Structure 1
C-alpha cells in the first residue's frame, strides 16, 4: 500500500487561509483547529481562528485566540491590528488603542491602524489627535472610506463644516449608500447653510435606515431651520418613539413645538430631556427659556441656576436669562463664553442669516454716518471691532491706510481672514484689546457689538485710550425706550437710551458728533429700533 502523505503545517495553513478568503468559514475553521492540534506552537492557526471569531462578532473569543498568537509570534503587525479590532469590539478602548499604536510603531504609514486609532480617539474626546491620525490614514490610502467619514465627523465637531462636507462627500463617493456618512454629510451641509441639500441627503439616509432615531432628529432640525415645521414635527415625533431615552430627540421636538407657538408642549419635551440627561446643559437651558416664555419664572430661574452649576463660564447665557426672570440683577455685559460660542456656531451661516433673514444694515449705516462726520479724512488707522466675518470691511477699507479686525470668536476671525481685506486680525475681548493699544487708531468702528455690553463706561474709556487725537468711535446700538440707561431684552441683547450714551460719552471724554435713530436689523420681519453713534475724542490736559 502507498503511504499516506502528511501535509506540512505551511500547506495546511495556506489551504485554511484560501478557504477563509474564498468565503468558506467552516472549512477554514476545521483546518485551523486541525493545525492547533497538530502544531500547537504555530501562531497562524490562532490568528485565523481570531479572524473567524471577529467575523462572527465574538470579540472576547477573538481576543483569546489572538493573545495566544501574539505570545507565540510577537511583533507581527497583522496580529496586533486584529487584536485591536477584537478589543474595540468589546469596548476596551484604551487597550485597543495600544495595539493600533503597536502597529504604527512597526509600520508608521499603516492606513487602517491610523483610521482605527482616529476613531477611538474621537470616542475619548481627543479631537485634535484623532484628526491627525485620520489625515495620516487618507494620505496613506485615499480610498479609505471609513477614515474619510471619521475625519469629516471630527471636522464637523471641531467647527469646520466646509472641510467636513468635502471629506464626507469623498467618503460617499467611495461608499455611496452609507447611512452613517449620509447622516454626517447632512449635518455638515446644514452647518454650511445648505439646508435644501442637507434635507435631501438626510431624507435619503432615513429611507435607507428608517429605524435610526438620530437621523430622523437631524432631519427634523434641518426642516425646522427651513420653516417646514409640520414635517419637522412628524420626524421628531417618530424619533422619540424609536428612542424614547434619547435626549437630543426630545430637545428637537421641544424646539419645534416652541417654533409652532406651543410653549407648554415644548416645556414638557425639554423636561423629559433633562430627566434623561441631567448633566447636559442644553436641555436645562431650553427648559429655562420655555418656562420663562410661559410665565413660570420660579421654575425658569431654577433651571437657569442649574445651567450655571453645570457650566460656570456660562456659554449659553443662563445668567442673562436668570436676570430676565427678575431673580438676579442685570449683568453689566454678556458672558464672554456665551458670545464666543454664539458666534463660533453661527460663523458658517452668519452672512446669509444676518443679511438675508435679518436684513442687517449695520455696516451701511456706519458708512453713511462716517462719510458725514469724517469730511475728507482718509488714510486712517482703522479697527473693525467685533469684525465677525468681515461684513464691514468693504466700507471701512476705503477709509483706511491700515485696517485691523478684532473678534472674540475664532471661527469668525477665520472667516474674516478668508476675505483677504484686513491687514491684521486679532482674536481677543474688545475692552482688553483696546487697553493694550495706546493712541494707535484714528477710527474704531463697532457694528452690532455694544448690544452685548450693558455698561458702556469700560469700553468707552478703553476706546478713548486707544484713539489718537481727534479720533472717532462709531457704533450701532439697539434703542431702549422708557429707560434712562440700558436694559436687557428677551433675546439676550442690550438696548441703550440715547441720553445714557450722551452721558457716558461725555464722562469718557468724547463729544457726540452724531447720534440718530436707525434700524440696523429686523426680528421676525419687524424693524428693531436702533441708533447709530459717532463720538469724537476730546483733548484733555495730560493726554
Structure 2
C-alpha cells in the first residue's frame, strides 16, 4: 500500500513553518537552534499529543510526514494520532505504510492488529498477529490476540494452543483464564476447563457470567463420574449467589454429555432429569437415542417442545456457535437452475433463517413449522405470505396447493422413514418444480437415530426414494454444522419433479 502525503510547494512550506513558529515558541527555539524542520515538527506533534491537542498533533505530524514520507517511525506516530482523532482508515494506511518501510517493528504489527479488530478487519488482524509472532515468538500479546480470533472463528484447537501459550508467557489475567477455560469447555475438556475457569472466578467473584461458566464446567466434570445429585451440588457450590435454576442447568449439562459422546453419564443424568420432570417431552426421545431404541421419527410433541424452548436464542446459537450456513450454501445452487419460483414452500421454516435468501427467488413464501415460538420469530421477518403451525408431513397430507419450490433445510434429521415426505412433496410440486433439502449422511442402514438425537440417512436410500418421482439436479457434500468441535457431514440435494407422476 502506498501512502500519498503531498509535500507543500516551497512558498507554502515557508508559510506553514512561519505559522508553526509563531504559534509554538518551543518549535521556534528548535528551529533557531538549527534542528531540521522534520525533527522539530515531530517533537512538536508528540508534545501536542501528550497535552491532549490531537488536532494540533495531526497537523504537525502530517506536515513532517509530507517532508519525509519514507520515515517509518514518523508514519507510525502519525497513524497513532489519526486513530486517536477517530480517522481509523487513514490511521491504518499510515501504519501499513510504516510497516512497508520497516517490517521489523513488533509493536506496530500489534497496533495494526488492535485497530483491525476494532474496525472488523479480522483477516488483517490475524495476519498482523502472526507477523508479530514471527518476529518475537515469545510475544504474549500476539498469542493472546490470535487465540481470541481463533476462538471467535470456532477454531478451538488452535485457540487452546495459543491461549495456553499466552498463559505460559506470563499473561495470567482473569480474562485470559476465562477465555481459555471457555475454549476448553467447547472442545469437551471439562476438567481442564473447570480448573482454568476457577482461576478466573476466584479473581472475579462478582462477574456472574464467569462464575456460572466455572460452576457449569464443575457440574459436567462431576456428572461424568458421580451421581447427578453430586453434579448439581458441585454447580451450586461453584455458582453461589449466581446460581441459575436446576432445570436450565440440567438441560445444558445433558446436552454437553450427549454431544461429546459420554453415553453412560448422559443416560444416568437424563434419567434423573426425567424423574424430576416426568412430563418432559424432550428427554425421553434423547434417552431412546442414547439407548439405541428404534424410532422412525421424532414426535411432533418433542419437536414443538424442543424448539419452543430454544426459540429466543436459536438464531445466534445456530449461526454463531454451530456455524450453520445452509441457506447461504443453497443460494448459488438455486441460482444455477436459472429460474424463478413464484410459489415457495419452506418446510420446517423455524425462525425463517432461509427466508431472506428464498425471497430473492419467489414472490410468495409459505412457511410451516411445529413450534409457535419459532413461528413468532419468522413472522417478525415480514417475508412470509403465510405461516402454518403444523407438522410438515401432516401439512402435505392436508394441503391442496402446488408449489414451484419446496425447501426442507435441517428437517430430515427429525425424520427416519422419508417415504411419506417424498410422496407428499412430489404431490404438491408443480411439474418441473424443484425439491431442495439437506440431510446428515450415514452408512449401512437406510436411516439411523444417532446418540445426539438426530437421524442420519444413507445416500443410497435418498437416491432410491428420489428415483420414482424426481430427476436429480445437484447433490453436494457440505458441513451441516459444527457439533462438539467436529464438523457434521451432510449433503445438499436438488431434485426436479418429473413432468408426469
**TM-score, normalised to structure 2's length?**
0.51
Residues of 1 paired with 2:255 and 2:359: CA distance?
40
Q: Using the alignment, how far apart are the partners of 1:381 and 1:454 within structure 2?
A: 27
The SS at the match of 1:388 is: coil
1:431 aligns with 2:393: yes
Q: Which has the higher contact order (CA 8 A, sep 6+)?
A: 2
Residue matched to 1:332 = 296
Identify the match of residue 368 of structure 1 among 328, 332, 351: 332
Aligned equivalents of 1:290 and 1:367: distance in 2?
Answer: 32
1:534 to 2:494 alignment: yes
Contact 1:479 1:529 in 2 (8 A): yes
Shift in Å at residue 529 of structure 1?
0.9
1:522 and 1:294 mapped to 2: Cα distance?
12
Deviation at 1:520, TM superposition (A): 2.5
The alpha carbon displacement at 1:526 in A equals: 2.9
SS in 2 for 1:400: coil
| Offset at residue 261 of structure 1 (A) | 8.1
Shift of 1:386: 1.5
Pair 470,292 (structure 1): closer, same or farther in 2 beyond 3 Å: closer
- CA deviations 1:295-333 (Å, max 9, x no partner) are 99789668767867887775224233224223x22x111
Does residue 263 of the first structure (1) align with residue 224 of the second (2)?
A: yes
- Number of the residue aligned with 2:423: 461
User: 1:514 aligns to what SS in structure 2?
Assistant: strand
Q: Which residue of 1 aligns with 2:458?
A: 497
2:286 to 311, 320, 323: 320
Q: Does 1:387 align with 2:349?
A: yes
Distance 2:260 2:405 in 1: 45
Query: Is the 1:472–1:534 Cα contact (8 Å) retained in structure 2?
Result: yes
Matched, 1:448 2:448: no
CA contact (8 A) 1:438 1:465 kept: no
CA distance in 2 between partners of 1:294 and 1:364 (Å)? 27
Give the C-alpha shift of residue 365 in structure 1: 1.8
TM-score of the superposed pair, with normalisation by structure 1: 0.47
Partner of 2:435: 473
Residue aligned with 1:359, SS: coil
Question: Take 2:431 and 2:261, find their aligned partners in 1: how far apart are those partners?
Answer: 51
Q: Within 5 Å, give how 1:12-411 maps onto structure 2.
A: 255-257=216-218, 259-260=220-221, 263-265=224-226, 267-270=228-231, 315-326=281-292, 328-329=293-294, 331-372=295-336, 374-376=337-339, 378-411=340-373
Which whole-Å CA distance do the structure 1 matches of 2:264 and 2:318 have between them?
34
Summarize the Cα distance change of 1:519–1:288 in structure 2 as closer, same or farther, 3 Å threshold.
closer
Aligned counterparts of 1:476 and 1:308: Cα–Cα separation in 2: 32
1:302/1:352 CA distance change after superposition, 3 Å: closer
- How many residues are aligned here? 304
Report the CA distance between 1:224 and its aligned residue: 7.6
Shift of 1:338: 2.4
Distance 1:368 1:299, change over 3 A: closer
Shift of 1:406: 1.7
- Name the SS for the 1:459 alignment partner: helix
Which whole-Å CA distance do the structure 2 matches of 1:302 and 1:524 have between them? Answer: 20
Deviation at 1:355, TM superposition (A): 1.5
SS at match of 2:363: strand
- Residue of 470, 489, 496 corresponding to 1:510: 470
1:479-490 to structure 2, matched below 5 A, reads 479-480=441-442, 482-490=443-451
Secondary structure of the corresponding residue to residue 363 of structure 1: helix
Change (3 A) 1:261 1:270: closer
- Provide the C-alpha distance between the structure 1 equivalents of 2:326 and 2:492, rounded to a whole number of angstroms: 8
Q: Which residue of 2 aligns with 1:155?
A: none
Contact 2:441 2:456 (8 Å CA) reproduced: yes
Give the C-alpha shift of residue 375 in structure 1: 2.3
Give me the whole-angstrom Cα distance separating, in 2, the residues matched to 1:435 and 1:234.
57
| 1:330-384 Cα deviation digits (max 9, x unpaired) | x111222222222222222222222112211110122122222x323x1420011
Please, which runs of 5 or more residues in structure 1 have no aligned partner?
1-219, 238-250, 274-279
Q: CA RMSD in A?
A: 4.4
Contact 1:292–1:325 (CA under 8 A) maintained in structure 2: no
